[in-house]
Structure 1
Amino acid sequence: MNQAAPASFRWLARLSAVTVLVGIGAGLSGLVVSYLLHLLEHITYGFGEGTFLDELPTPSNLHRVLALLIAGVIGGVGWWALRRFTRKVVSVEAAVTGTKMPTVATLGNVALQIVIVGLGASIGREVAPRELAAFVSGWISDRTGTTSRERRILVACGAGAGLAAVYDVPLGGAVFAVEILLAELSLTTIVPALVTSSIAALVASVVTSHHALYTVPRVDLSPSLVVWSVLAGPVFGFGALGFVRLAKWAGDRRPKTWTIMIVMPAIFTGVGLLSILFPQILGNGRALGQLGLTGTAPLGFIALVVVFKLVSTVGTIGAGAAGGTLTPSLALGSGMGAVLGGLWLFVFPGSGISAFALVAASAFLAASMKAPVTALVLVLEFTGQGFTLLVPTMLAIGGAMAVGYTLDRRRRLVGAA
């Protein structure tokens, strides 16, 4: 007993120290990604803080098209070289299971994502900090003598902390690690997830904004919103499932040879030309998300931006670019919610359009990620909203998730038959 106690204390002290190091490493990863993105956006579009929607129309039409063309050329050549001459990029999910992330391929993949997103490519920015943080966490774990289970938890927590750092969402990053990457709810996963995400967000706060990612007008609960949430939840489930399948379809058909050096610049230039009329399609989706959450534009215009954002994001993935779909999913849900909520108000007046967009963003994101708790927490942190709309949001998420579960179950039954 006397010998076991010091051994247990040493184990706990060592693991605690490693967890803190992972949090710091993830925070530095998020800090680097955020700084480089802000720097590139400032050089390209002349802004660093503020929303993409407010600042983007400043550059000329030619400026935007050229920026996307350059992004396509750099991305096409870069990913061709990376996939031709280096080892295969290892995803965060594979890294959690124990697969080592190759140094050159990982860092190159992260760098290319930063470049194309900073230049305005229509894809999420959240994969780069997750990959870099997972790589750093794996490196720390390997050099501190952790067990395979400890390494798995630390890499997952590091990846979630990378997300927390770049968006200043400490709780969302922790829940992401536990619900999505680990799929295990226990003290051994919750505690390190909370610690690493908190530390990472604190470290990255040197360069990240302390304000909510989205500015949302006052939202109110109403019977109209509750009824709409029940009816519209499954609609967002179908929409999210369609987006996920389109993205997978496009990813499976991306160029795998030198043709990427032609396809990517061509598609990116097409997105740039489309942005002349709809500049809100550029970037990771923040512009469309803000457009839906404010609800100040005509519903027809928002609907068109939703369609073209979907096309541009799927096209960017199909062109061979790596990146995320988290913020694009939130944006698509927000835009859809603003349009459908605006139309619903003609039938059953109640809450403002912002409330409908907020509920829809949560439901769409939950269904696309298959992670209801993560989506709910992320939207709450992204918008800085409290629990006013918690009931309709949970109802909509439930309806959206039910669609995905039912269709997956049906597909499994058909496959088994």
Structure 2
Amino acid sequence: MLKTLLVHINQWRLRQTTQRNFLILCSVIVGLIGGLAAVMLKYLVHIMEEVSRNIALHLPFHIIYVFLPALGILLTVAYEHIINRDHIQKGIGNILVNIKKHKSAIGLNNTYSHLISSSLTVGFGGSSGLEAPIVCTGAAIGSNVGRLFNLSAYDKTILLAAGSAAGIAAVFNSPIAGVLFALEILIGEITIPTFIPLLIASATGVVVGKVLQSRQLFHLVTEGWLISALPFYVILGVLSGFVAVYITKVADTLEKGILKKYNRYIRALAGGLLLGILILIFPPLLGEGYHYLQEALNGNMEALKEESLYGEWLSQPLIMLLFIAALVLAKIVAAGITLGSGGNGGTFAPSMFTGAFLGLLVAYGVNQTGLIHLSTSNFIAVGMAGALSGVLHAPLTAIFLIAEITGGYVLFIPLMIVSAISYIISRLYNPHNMYWQHLIHEKKIYPDQDYSMLNSIRLDTIVNRDYTALSKTTPMSDFFKEISSTNANIFAVVDNSGKLEGVIWMDEIRKRLFDNQTASATVGDFMVIPPAVVEHNQAVSNVMQFFDQLDVWQLPVVKNGTFIGFISKSALLTQYRKAFIEQHRNADLFAR
């Protein structure tokens, strides 16, 4: 029934509408579902928080901080292992991998599994954010809508980005920031053909979020900025850049996993307890931390003393200053432990939290000197933008996100200054943003567009399996008879089990073709070890590196040591040219 309906829809769209108009229609659908997913995630987190509060009523005071995060991470790991069967693809980095290597195909289970697992993690106090899970959910929604209508890889990529934009926009009530996030982080280019569907999906997501859940994530009450505060905004920009480098390094290290030699449940329990102890020392690290951030924005510094073991000490300005500085350094550690021990979340919210408290640190510290009075709410807002700009390498997203949250452009100049300085400093130490950095270290993908296009080519589609295999004992006289019926320039030498032993190059044979001793020799006498051997599942970009570095045009391909064929540089370049033409043809079709 569903297949028949889809067939009719596809037939209708091919007859009655253009590719561009149908993609816009799909972006509305993706925006609607993405907005619903964002509302559902908030609702699930609210339910989990209620459950954790009920559990906390039966535990001694402060002990809840130690055990509840561990329980949330354990439940997350159990869900992903037992119910989801480890099919979930965590993190925005995996979206980039799917775009670059898998033609934007994301498994259907990712449209709901992030909502469940991240709500368990954050709802029970895990110190991470919900933005990455909603981005992953929106991306999966867009990808699967594209697959449902049998759209091209290019169109699926646009819908994938549209779903992510809708999720971000619905969470923050920031449609422009949602669009810019998708363009700067996921697509990497800003063009009209991609901008329109993203804008429509993002606006639709915001409308759905406002209709079903009007409460905003948090409110920023900012004031007009003073020219006398400009030097301190510059200082904040510099500090934000270095803090962004710190966030990237710590997140990259901890998110790879902690206590790796133990099984997943021991890691979850140990990591959760370690996180609980950290939260016990610094209560604002609990969950996303937006409650404490909102109180700081309201100027209520007393809120930082709540549920603290040493609340009375925080009445002293110097101790409070040190406490805020500790929060700046500790939040990303807590987030890294949460994710590294098996929880599901992201570092988007922890980066905002860190930047906010960095801004508070600067404003509060300067105000204690009595030299000048700085607006703490302004510096908190601008600090968030500075951290996001440096960590994500997305200054436009950072600027417009905070500008939209504040409800105006009063702070636009400070936002631009701090975001730009932070971005420049961060780029000096980290050429790529946090997501690319992790993927490059893991050698999953390369940021260069040529590498991305190369890796979109499947190696098995260009392997030449029409070959002549020889044995080392084959007489050269028999080999000469063989080459008379082929145009091949390279021949494989294999053993009885098909394992590759070497190759024979025709260029070398031609040099000794009329040597009297050649006819009486065997293939083994002329066999050489190839300069490189390609594995059947190797990235095509690596193969191209072999060709360029070794200055050869053909290489053998093996699978578990067994020879399966040859790959030629000319065939690879031909396939690359086809991929390049196809990508730009799709872009041109949409632009018409």
Pairwise TM-score range, normalised by the shorter structure: 0.7 to 0.9
- The one-letter code of the counterpart of 1:352 is S
Alignment of 1:312 with 2:312, yes or no, is no
Match for residue 107 of structure 2? 102
Instruction: Say if 1:219 and 1:351, in contact at 8 Å, map to a contact too.
Output: no
The equivalent position to 2:402 in structure 1, one of 370, 379, 384, is 379
Instruction: Say if 1:229 and 1:392, in contact at 8 Å, map to a contact too.
Output: yes
SS at match of 1:306: helix
Instruction: String of CA shifts for 1:267-305, please: whole Å, max 9, x gaps.
Output: 222332343343211112313433543444243332233
Distance in 1 (CA, whole Å) between partners of 2:139 and 2:172 is 16
Structure 1 stretch displaced more, 240-249 or 299-308: 299-308
Distance in 1 (CA, whole Å) between partners of 2:345 and 2:134 is 10
The equivalent position to 1:229 in structure 2, one of 224, 228, 233, is 233
Alignment CA distance shift 1:295-1:309 (3 Å): farther
Match for residue 168 of structure 1? 173
SS at match of 1:42: helix
SS at match of 1:123: coil
Distance in 2 (CA, whole Å) between partners of 1:184 and 1:296 is 41
Distance in 2 (CA, whole Å) between partners of 1:362 and 1:209 is 24
Distance in 1 (CA, whole Å) between partners of 2:81 and 2:185 is 30
The equivalent position to 1:21 in structure 2, one of 19, 29, 35, is 29
SS at match of 1:252: coil
Unaligned runs of 5+ residues in structure 1 are 1-5, 47-55, 413-417
Matches within 5 A, 1:122-271: 122-211=127-216, 213-254=217-258, 259-271=263-275
The structural deviation recorded for 1:42 is: 2.7
Instruction: String of CA shifts for 1:232-256, please: whole Å, max 9, x gaps.
Output: 3121101011111110111224455
The equivalent position to 1:275 in structure 2, one of 273, 279, 288, is 279
RMSD of aligned residue pairs (Cα, Å): 2.9
Unaligned runs of 5+ residues in structure 2 are 1-13, 302-319, 438-592
Match for residue 41 of structure 1? 49
- The one-letter code of the counterpart of 1:319 is S
The structural deviation recorded for 1:23 is: 1.3
Distance in 2 (CA, whole Å) between partners of 1:115 and 1:405 is 35
Alignment CA distance shift 1:355-1:105 (3 Å): closer
Identity %: 25
Distance in 2 (CA, whole Å) between partners of 1:324 and 1:108 is 15
Match for residue 113 of structure 1? 118
SS at match of 1:290: helix
Distance in 2 (CA, whole Å) between partners of 1:366 and 1:182 is 17
- The one-letter code of the counterpart of 1:371 is A
SS at match of 2:255: helix
The structural deviation recorded for 1:217 is: 3.7
The structural deviation recorded for 1:338 is: 0.8
SS at match of 1:89: coil
Match for residue 325 of structure 2? 303
Distance in 2 (CA, whole Å) between partners of 1:256 and 1:276 is 25
Match for residue 393 of structure 1? 415
The structural deviation recorded for 1:227 is: 1.1
Distance in 2 (CA, whole Å) between partners of 1:129 and 1:216 is 22
State the TM-score, normalized to the length of structure 2. 0.61
Structure 1 stretch displaced more, 261-270 or 100-109: 100-109
- The one-letter code of the counterpart of 2:386 is A
Instruction: String of CA shifts for 1:59-87, please: whole Å, max 9, x gaps.
Output: 9423343322311321333345579x444
Q: Which has the higher contact order (CA 8 A, sep 6+)?
A: 1
Match for residue 336 of structure 1? 358
Larger Rg: 2
Alignment CA distance shift 1:102-1:60 (3 Å): same
Match for residue 49 of structure 1? none
Alignment CA distance shift 1:256-1:141 (3 Å): farther
Distance in 2 (CA, whole Å) between partners of 1:87 and 1:389 is 43
Alignment CA distance shift 1:192-1:334 (3 Å): same
The structural deviation recorded for 1:151 is: 1.2
Instruction: Say if 2:114 and 2:344, in contact at 8 Å, map to a contact too.
Output: yes
Distance in 1 (CA, whole Å) between partners of 2:382 and 2:47 is 33
Distance in 2 (CA, whole Å) between partners of 1:300 and 1:207 is 41
Instruction: Say if 2:275 and 2:334, in contact at 8 Å, map to a contact too.
Output: yes
Match for residue 51 of structure 1? none
Distance in 1 (CA, whole Å) between partners of 2:357 and 2:296 is 5
Instruction: String of CA shifts for 1:127-168, please: whole Å, max 9, x gaps.
Output: 222222211211111121322211111111111211222332
Instruction: Say if 2:245 and 2:429, in contact at 8 Å, map to a contact too.
Output: no
Instruction: Say if 1:234 and 1:402, in contact at 8 Å, map to a contact too.
Output: no
Match for residue 415 of structure 1? none
Alignment CA distance shift 1:10-1:399 (3 Å): closer
Match for residue 93 of structure 1? 96
Instruction: Say if 2:179 and 2:202, in contact at 8 Å, map to a contact too.
Output: yes
Alignment CA distance shift 1:33-1:267 (3 Å): same
Distance in 2 (CA, whole Å) between partners of 1:336 and 1:295 is 15
The structural deviation recorded for 1:8 is: 8.6
Distance in 2 (CA, whole Å) between partners of 1:291 and 1:10 is 51
Alignment CA distance shift 1:208-1:225 (3 Å): farther
State the TM-score, normalized to the length of structure 1. 0.85
Match for residue 32 of structure 1? 40
Distance in 1 (CA, whole Å) between partners of 2:431 and 2:423 is 12
Instruction: Say if 1:237 and 1:400, in contact at 8 Å, map to a contact too.
Output: yes
Structure 1 stretch displaced more, 69-78 or 335-344: 69-78
Alignment CA distance shift 1:197-1:217 (3 Å): closer
Distance in 2 (CA, whole Å) between partners of 1:408 and 1:271 is 27
The structural deviation recorded for 1:218 is: 4.0
